[in-house]
Structure 1
Amino acid sequence: MPAVPSLRVHPLLRFGLVLTLSSSPLLISPTWADTGERRSYQVPAGSLGAALTRFAGLAGVNLAVDPALVSGRNSNGLSGEYAVEEGFDRLLQGSGLQLLPAGSEAYTLTRVAADSGSVQLPTTSVLGADGAAGAEVFAGGQVARRGTQGLLGSRDFMETPFSMTTYTQEVVKNQQARTLGDLIANDPSVRVTNPAGGRYEQFTIRGFSLFNSDVSYNGLYGILPTYTIDMEMVDRVDILKGPSQLINGISPRGSVGGGINVVPKRATDQPITEFTGSYASNSQVGGAVDVGRRFGDENQFGIRFNGVKQSGDTEWDHQSVDREMAVVGLDFRGERLRLSTDIGHTERDTDAPQERVQVGPNAKVPNANDVRHNYAQAWSKARTRDTFGTLNAEYDVSDSTLLYGAVGVRKSNHDFLRHAVSVTNDAGDFSVQPRDFTRDENVRTATAGVRTWFHTGPVSHEVNLAANDFYMDFENGGARYAPSSSNLYHPVQTPKPDTPTRIDPKVYTENRFSGVALSDTLGFFGDRLLLTLGTRWQRVKVDDWSNGIKGATAYDEEKVSPSGGILYKVTDELSLYANYMEGLSQGKIAPSTAVNEDQIFPPFVSRQVEVGAKYDLGSLAITASAFRIKQPAYETNATTRVFGPSGKRQNSGVELSVFGEPLSGFRVLGGVMYIDSKLTDTTGGAFNGNQAPATPKYNVNLGAEWDVPAVQGLTLNGRGIYTSSQYLDQANTKEIDAWERFDVGARYAFKVDSTAVTLRANIENVLDKRYWSSAGASDDSEPGLTLSTPRTYLLSATVGF
């Protein structure tokens, strides 16, 4: 019988509930719906004149336009429900033009009055302090047109010389994504490399590791929870492929395959009051609240609260998850000043979390289909507590200069009682070696910059100067206990450890990463050709102490890293681009499974070259890129168990992504990635030319949604995911099979009087297939096999008041 979920609610969650419920009747503010009927519109991106004409025709109003005013101007289009004036304002945003009434249901277009000498800010550069950047969604609502790019601000994907996809909160809601790992199942360039029921989440982008520590929050690294990120706090998720050190600086764990940025929710002009009840098999039940209000004479103040409580058993034996999240976001929108702050707390308790399965030198790859029970001991646990806060600010010094800055802090406490799973023979036997592991973290980070726009003759410039500083200290400790035995296929429950056989040394580490970056985006031929040139000075300083004794592997190094990108808009629908990116990353740390545990290696340099094309059909977008990334390779030697450098690796690949609504009521999201990952300069040349471990050649993700015409509000969805085979070792002697997963679902939206209700049902891994979904990552310090998640049922009901 499943355990009864705890009803304990964290004080911050209680505070948020009281605050939002008590303020609900007071903070309701006027919206566009008060001044005009809201209707659904789909206006594709393109020339501004065509967008205005299409919108006016759909709205049934007359519009007088001087062709000279709109000549050479483009619009991002719009998708969603708008009143007439609201829709026109959205289409005209950043154009320097405004709409004036000219009679009943008639309007005319004029220039916005401006002081002499002012410069109109380009629409591709404005980034609000709340990170939202006024991001319009692409057709279908699953992907946003704009993404946050750190140093370079916010840009439309068609004007970005990088490969980037920005997922909206609609995807999060409709797929019932609970963690970041659930959301990235839409992206072929990203894969989860740790079990869904494990202690932490970890990913690969273009074959290289990315930890949660490297996921930024509104552009700040190290603020989000270290081990698992809840999705209920998220407005958008930007996924950038390729080294991102120029635009974001050095990430805490040194990811080089790409970057992920989480944009928090903000109060909208439309009041929000939603409650979502949820169920996930085996018996996880929970609830989430989302409340947002704007107030003030001009709606300049905003508050948004999101809270979650979920508890219960998962599909795995004796495994349960109890999680709480509370995040409050406040913002101010002034004429020149924009401020925002976020304060959050998360707690997650997992009993019997799964570990990766390591395969010893004398064992073959286990048969995943025969692993039918949780091999983690019932006494194992993972307890994480994270509290964080940020403050963002922007100030328009003039119409052509913007100052911005942000600071963030996080304090975390983590407590694990775990054991490795290292299979020693073909029968699946492994030794249960309990380890009590604690980790306390403190993070302080800040960034500041200036962005200015000007012209030199016919050439436009956007110059960015930014400085950043990241500091984190953490202390690891714990104890070891007497080993016992178990089996992967037939787990044996062992007694809970009580008397340590060894106390681990207290290891204290300080990391400080700092840098200064300068970039200039030059626009030629009316900004049809955009050239971005930049460089970042970076410093990496790491110190560590063991039981108060300073370690010998500390270092303090710096480097100047150049980067650049070029984009040419062949037409309003087609963009071609190329980039070169280079960055310095923190050195790897030897894992607990190596004999040189906790040894810190020097920082390393990664380099990427990439070319690509983006085609925007208005209702459908297709992006393609070819890339090559180089960096050192690391491995734990199978015989000596020493972790260290082992040659170099080069990932050369091709990506193809597609998203949008090609037919009315039919949406697609997904793509394919091919990677050829080769090893070079390995020790003695033994593995030269081999495929890098944990790097499949093919990843395919394709999802679709269909609005059933005969039943208003009913939508059916499905998704298929495929990953080809991959090796476990540099010798390419052990391999896991290719796998595929299929998900299906449906949702039904309707109204009861004036109350909006949405019912959602999803089945993940509908065929209940068992497979090894990942062999880790070839640059990971602790590789191992990740077991697939069994068939999982997800149900939810969202009520909007």
Structure 2
Amino acid sequence: MSRTPLLRPLSLHLMRAGLLLALGLPASGWADEARRSYQVPGGSLGAVLTRFAGQAGVSLSVDPALVAGRSSLGLAGEYGVEEGFAALLQGSGLILVSAGPGSFTLVRQAAPVEGAHVLPDINVHGQGAAPAADAYAGGQVSRRGSLGMLGERDYMETPLSMTSYTREILQNQQARTLADVVANDPSVRSTNPAGGRFEQFSVRGFSLYNSDVAYGGLYGVLPTYSIDMEMVERVDILKGPGALLGGLAPNGSIGGGVNIEPKRAGETPLTEFTALYASAGQGGGHLDIGRRFGDDQRFGVRLNAVRQAGDTEWDHQHMDREATVLGLDMKGERTRLSLDIGHQARDVDAPMERVGLAAGLKVPDAKDVHHNFAQPWSYSRAKDTFGAVRGEYDLSDNWMLLGALGARKGDYDFMRHAVQVVNEAGRFTVSPRAFQREEDVVTGTVGVRGWFNTGAVGHTLNISLNRFDLTFDNSGARYANGVSNLFDPVTLPAPGAPLADDNPTHTNTVLSSLALADTLSFADDTVLLTLGARLQRVEVDSSEPGEPDQRYDERATSPAMGLVWRTTEQLSLYFNYMEGLTQGQVAPETANNAGKVFAPYRSKQLEVGAKYDMGRFSTTVSLFRIEKPSYFTDAQNNLSADGEQRNQGLEISLFGEPLDGVRVLGGAMFLDAEQTRTANGRNDGNRAIGAPVVNANLGVEWDLPAIDGLTLSARVIHTGNQYLDAANRQKVDAWQRYDLGARYALKLGDKDVTLRASVENVLDKTYWASANVPDGTATGLTLSTPRTWLLSATVGF
């Protein structure tokens, strides 16, 4: 059995606690004790046992050699002393023996001791099905998140800024795609219209693409253009470059990363159906079924299926989305396996486009835009089939072999047109273009993790080998132009025969790396030092008829260091330095040099922060600095490299339930994003494109004491002003969005029912939500989404 509870599959039922209490007391000595509430954060087993003993008011002596390399999720809830120690020591082969009244010593389990008390069966929740013990007070944020090759850790022992959103908040906020989830985070903003062809984000002022969102630690497996949330157990958002943790991000995201954990079958049988409705006529439903089978519920099956279709808030726009994901898992004495297989399809008629502006034009007032300016005959069709298999095998009590293999096939078909406004009257040329893309991804990782001591220093050693292989083919055609207007759109005839075909392009990208990291623990695990490096290789081979092939083969070694100091049980101080080699940008289809692949580049981050846990309320404060090469679209509409971008700032995040029935979630980011080393110094010192000075979020939930089961919610989102151009002449005003919601949980007969209603952008304000894409690969303004009503009803059978 694994010696690392942080890595066990969820809902593990304890067959026998195996904890023998040789207390010289009657068997009921502890069992008769009153239960009380405990809040013991997860971490190393030695530290967690010590914390629990302190809260329980007993003395515990622990030999560090016995607990070296072992971890625990901690406890949250009401326990007796007996139950608490049983849950923490389950399956460890360790027992407690009496050392006097209220004093105990930890030893290895041998033959049963005469007069010992065998604890009853206890259900212990581990990784996978959102157990209450994993969630922080309030249930909106998980105490732990995935750090890639370093495994899962309690956020207080993580040398990064990290927030992990639970399935509970995704469901209560009626999140449909990843964009709905990241709206909770002040450091993350959506940079593409909600009704557009694809979703894209910025983290700390740098782009994050869907292809850089990990699925259980694997890049490129999830759908490229949007990711439905019904399949998701937890969303981890990590800030800063993560090259050491997960290898090279396929599209070069460095401001931060997102990891999505798939759902797993829990111990309790689950059958839920959720009826869905979004304003303007989008109806549908979501089915969620989970079961465990076999001896000791060894085998698990989780099925999620969703379908939603109908008109959206935009003129002549229709959306149809569907997804089905099957998750299987098996847990044995030393082996844990899982398999996820999914298919997602998304069709959008008249998808919203970004709005580009000619140089020197004043940014138009978004309030003057009242209609969808995309042509009714434009469309977006995206289909993705994907899967991943993962496994862990305990070689011994101190060494574990782990690996994962994922794949995806994507087929995409677009009929679109750019929106490039050329005068203050709002005129733009409609240049229809058909665009097809096929993607094939195979990615995998294999590694080994070990725990050992050298004297008083504990070690967690990780070795990881990663490979990511992407092949994509692009083709398309151009059609006759027309003219329309941003403020008064003109409906043009559907395109006829194409005027010209685009040159097809074929690109193969191979990202491979070998990483080594050691987490050293000192002073009873109060100091954790992670030292590591990743040897990276980027190979790109791109070909286009009539053009010379573009080939890159770059290698680099990227060091990383992270330090955590648990100064007290409530306060952690942390520091990290990370470097990464990142694949160069690819010029978008809107650029004249579309498809051009730029050389790989290095990025660097330095960060220092503090995390304070008050038991029911937690906050993180961090200072960061990130540097990377920058790109911009020149006057000839070519994507070009130009100098560097340096983003530095202050982040504050907070979450928890400071008062009974009152939950808060939010924070702020203050960002100084500066252009440096630009050509001839022309833009040195200017603010970077699409980088607000201030972002702030605050969400509040309140369980009304007068009406059992009724919860009210409110959220405000603020984004500061931004620049659309590198010269800082085109400025976008700051904006605020207000959301309101309510839910009511009740019983109908023997059925659990939850009714939810929410309205986003309750004031129906129109504004430019984003200015451009922060890496400069495409120009454009993102229009806000109109007031949107969301309704759902979940019934448990």
Shared topology, TM-score over 0.5? yes
The match for 1:230 is 228
Q: State the partner residue of 1:489.
A: 487
Q: For residue 576 of structure 2, what is the aligned residue in structure 1?
A: 579
CA contact (8 A) 1:444 1:471 kept: yes
Distance 1:800 1:174 in 2: 15
Among 55, 63, 67, the residue aligned to 2:60: 67
Q: Look up the match of 1:389.
A: 387
The answer on 1:295 being equivalent to 2:293 is yes
> Structure 1, residues 527-572: CA drift from partner, whole Å, max 9, x if none?
111111100000000011113x674332111111111011111011
Distance 1:86 1:424 in 2: 71
User: What is residue 190 of structure 1 aligned with on the other side?
Assistant: 188
1:519: which partner in 2?
A: 517
Counterpart Cα distance in 2 of 1:174 and 1:85: 35
Match of 2:338 among 334, 337, 340: 340
Q: Over residues 47-88 of structure 1, what are the superposed CA-to-partner deviations in whole Å (9 max), with x where a residue is unaligned? A: 7579757998xxxxxxx9553369999975544699998766
SS at match of 1:232: coil
Q: Distance in 2 between matches of 1:178 and 1:511?
A: 31
Checking the alignment, whether the CA contact within 8 Å between 2:266 and 2:292 is kept in structure 1 is yes
Structure 1 287/527 Cα, relative in aligned 2: closer, same or farther at 3 Å?
same
State the partner residue of 2:554. 557
- Root mean square deviation, CA, Å: 2.9
In 2, distance between residues paired with 1:75 and 1:663? 27
Aligned residue in 1 for 2:442? 444
Letter in 1 for 2:702: W
Offset at residue 784 of structure 1 (A): 1.0
Partner Cα distance (2:560, 2:110) in 1: 36
**What is aligned with 2:420?**
422
Distance 1:317 1:99, change over 3 A: farther
* CA contact 1:89–1:98 (8 Å) conserved in 2: no
Measure, in 1, the Cα distance between the counterparts of 2:785 and 2:470: 33
Which of 14, 23, 39 is matched with 1:44 structurally? Answer: 39
Opposite residue 482 of structure 2, the aligned amino acid is S
Residue pairs, 1:313-462, within 5 angstroms = 313-462=311-460
Task: Give the drift of 1:95.
Answer: 7.6
Are the structure 2 counterparts of residues 163 and 312 from structure 1 closer, same or farther at C-alpha, using a change threshold of 3 Å? same
- Counterpart Cα distance in 1 of 2:455 and 2:373: 68
Which amino acid is 2:40 matched to? A
* Aligned partner of 1:752 among 748, 751, 760: 748
Query: Could you say if the C-alpha distance between residues 756 and 636 of structure 1 is closer, same or farther in structure 2, counting changes exceeding 3 Å?
Result: same
Deviation by residue 1:462-497 (Cα, 9 ceiling, x = unmatched): 111000000010000010000001111111000000
- Contact 2:510–2:539 at 8 Å: present in 1 too? yes
Q: How far apart, in 2, do the equivalents of 1:41 and 1:173 lie? A: 30
Report the CA distance between 1:776 and its aligned residue: 2.5
Contact preservation (8 Å) 1:742, 1:766: yes
- What residue in structure 1 maps to residue 728 of structure 2? 732
Cα distance, 1:783 vs. partner?
Answer: 2.5
Contact 1:467–1:515 (Cα < 8 Å) also in 2:
yes
How far did residue 590 of structure 1 move? 1.6
Deviation at 1:43, TM superposition (A): 3.1
| 1:419/1:433 contact within 8 Å kept | yes
Q: Which residue of 1 aligns with 2:794?
A: 798
**How much has 1:42 moved relative to structure 2?**
5.8
Report the 3-state secondary structure (helix = DSSP H, G, I; strand = E; otherwise coil) of the residue aligned with 1:626.
Answer: strand
In the TM superposition, what whole-angstrom CA distance separates every residue of 1:677-698 from its partner, at most 9, and x where no partner exists?
1111111111111111100010
Give the AA of the match of 2:261: V
Q: 2:661 aligns with which of 661, 665, 681?
A: 665
Structure 1 portions without partners, runs of 5+: 1-28, 57-63, 102-106, 117-126
Q: Distance in 2 between matches of 1:134 and 1:543?
A: 48
Q: Distance in 1 between matches of 2:252 and 2:399?
A: 32
For residue 589 of structure 1, what is the amino acid of its counterpart? V
- 1:646 Cα offset (Å): 1.1
Opposite residue 659 of structure 1, the aligned amino acid is: F
Paired residue for 2:152? 154
* CA positional deviation for 1:641: 2.2
Q: Match for 1:206: what amino acid?
A: R
Q: State which of 624, 644, 651 in structure 2 corresponds to 1:648.
A: 644
Q: Contact 1:612 / 1:626 at 8 angstroms: preserved in 2?
A: yes
Partner of 1:204: 202
For residues 709 and 82 of structure 2, the distance between their equivalents in structure 1, rounded to whole angstroms, comes to: 27
Aligned residues, how many? 747
- 1:351-385: CA deviation from partner (whole Å, max 9, x where unpaired): 00001111111532111011111001100000001
Candidates 756, 759, 764, aligned match of 1:763: 759
Q: Supply the distance in 2 between the matched residues of 1:268 and 1:746 (Cα, whole angstroms).
A: 27
Q: Aligned in 2, Cα 1:31/1:158: closer, same or farther, shift over 3 Å?
A: closer
**Quick one: which of 703, 710, 713 aligns to 2:706?**
710
Task: Report 1:492-511 matches (<5 A).
Answer: 492-511=490-509
Decide whether the 8 Å contact of 1:375 with 1:491 is kept in 2. yes
Q: Deviations over 1:233-270 (max 9, x none)?
A: 00001101000001110011010101100000000111
8 Å CA contact 2:342–2:385 kept in 1: the answer is yes
Indicate the SS of the match to 1:496: coil
Tell me the distance in 2 between the aligned counterparts of 1:769 and 1:754.
43
Q: Distance in 1 between matches of 2:774 and 2:52?
A: 51
Structure 2 counterpart of 1:161, which letter? P
How far the C-alpha of 1:296 sits from its partner, in A, is 1.0
Aligned match of 2:682: 686
Code of the residue aligned with 2:61 in structure 1: it is: A
Percent of residue pairs identical? 55
Alignment partner for residue 719 of structure 1, among 710, 715, 720? 715
Aligned to 2:596: 599
Q: How many Å apart are 1:113 and its aligned residue?
A: 3.9
CA distance in 2, matches of 1:152, 1:426: 53
> How far, CA to CA, are the matches of 2:745 and 2:239 in structure 1?
35
Determine if contact 2:61/2:104 at 8 Å carries over to the other structure: no
Q: Paired residue for 1:312?
A: 310
Q: How far, CA to CA, are the matches of 2:748 and 2:85 in structure 1?
A: 31
1:780/1:81 CA distance change after superposition, 3 Å: farther
Alpha-carbon distance in structure 2 between the residues aligned to 1:373 and 1:169 = 35
Q: 2:515 aligns to what SS in structure 1?
A: strand
| Inter-CA distance 383–109: structure 2 relative to 1 (3 Å threshold) | farther
Cα drift, residue 589 of structure 1:
1.3
Q: Which amino acid in 2 is paired with 1:669?
A: L
In 2: Cα distance, 1:49 partner to 1:608 partner:
35
- Identify unmatched segments of 5+ residues in structure 2: 1-10, 18-30, 42-46, 112-124
- How far off its partner does 1:759 sit? 0.3
One-letter amino acid matched to 1:778: P
- Aligned residue for 1:223, secondary structure, equals coil
Query: Displacement of 1:132 after TM fit?
Result: 7.9
Q: CA deviation at 1:778?
A: 2.6
2:632 corresponds to 1:635:
yes
CA distance in 1, matches of 2:379, 2:479: 15
CA change 1:573–1:721 in 2 (3 A) is same
Aligned counterparts of 1:99 and 1:461: Cα–Cα separation in 2: 25
Aligned to 1:285: 283
Deviations 1:101-140 (A, max 9, x none): 9xxxxx9988574589xxxxxxxxxx98969899711111
Deviations, residues 423-452 of structure 1 (Å, cap 9, x unaligned): 110011111110000000000001000010
